[in-house]
Amino acid sequence: MNITPQALDFLFENRLKDSKEWYKEHKDIHTKLVVEPFREFVINITPYMNEIDPAIICNPKKISRIYRDARFSKDKSIFKDNQWCCFMNSDRKELYEGLPSFFFDFSPRGFKYGCGYYKAGKGSIEALRSLVLKKDKTYLAARKAVESDSRYILDCNPYKKDHFPEADEIDRSWLNIRDFCVLIDSTDFDLLFSDNLADEIGKEFIKLKPVYDFLMKAESINTERMKNKPKKG
């Protein structure tokens, strides 16, 4: 069961209608065209994720909702036109913004996938910087992996001003960051609609394992720091 052009057509039309009533009338189409193929994608990619880290959780029921969370947004649209899933070594919702994960996201505009944080905590970023500054082997391996493919984008919300002028030039893009994610943004619809989508993305995720290892080492450092942090009072 593949993602199809009809799935993207539905996402586009549902976003255009932006009507709860219309969606309820067509919810079974969403389930058939989008939800079921996407859950199958999660199932099929699971062996690759287990190869990266057996602790990574791959739950086909944990794909994104189609409803937007518009509580804190000026845009009060009801629906998204994309669907995404993430793979991390926890299924606790409150940790989604604090732990590194692999992700896959598709919409009528194309798809993107990669490894990083949804929203990195300050402690995580500080730990990442410490690994970069001492040229830890996990950092060097992650950098080598990113440099191996020109399609990779470092999406790290960088500082406008260079905060590390004395660092090696090649390291600065890994230091002047407020977040961290490595991703590929693609419009290869032939791949998106193909039978081997999960296999191809799984192989891409394995190529990003050094990035995941780098981020997980930073999390280990941050966790240890928090344990040893003096308690107030």
CATH of the domain at 210: 3.30.930.20
- Does residue 233 form part of some domain? no
Residues 26 and 10: beta-carbon distance below 8 Å? yes
The structure tokens 């991703």 sit at 183
Q: What is the pLDDT of residue 96?
A: 46
pLDDT for residue 22: 97
Residue 73 lies in a domain: yes
- The answer to whether position 148 is within a domain reads yes
C-alpha distances in angstroms, 14 versus 17, 188, 232? 5, 23, 51
- Contact assessment for residue 173 and residue 142, using Cβ atoms and an 8 Å cutoff: no
For 190, counting Cβ atoms within 10 Å of its Cβ (0-12 exposed, 13-18 middle, 19+ buried), the class is exposed
The answer to the question of residue 137 being in a domain is yes
Which residue range is the domain that position 110 belongs to? 5-228
User: Is the distance from CB of 142 to CB of 213 less than 8 angstroms?
Assistant: yes
The whole-number pLDDT of residue 91 equals 54
Please name every residue paired with 86 in a beta bridge, in sequence order, or none if there are none.
103
Low-confidence ranges of the chain (pLDDT < 50): 93-96
SS3 state at 213? helix
pLDDT at 97: 52
pTM score > 0.85 for this model? yes
How many independent structural domains does the chain possess? 1
User: pLDDT tens digits, residue range 121-130?
Assistant: 899 999 999 9
- As a whole number of angstroms, the distance between CA 24 and CA 97 comes to 30
Burial 77-102 (b: 16+ CB within 10 A, else e): eebbbbbbbbbbbeeeeeebebbbbb
pLDDT, position 230: 67
Strands 181-186, 153-154: pairing kind? antiparallel
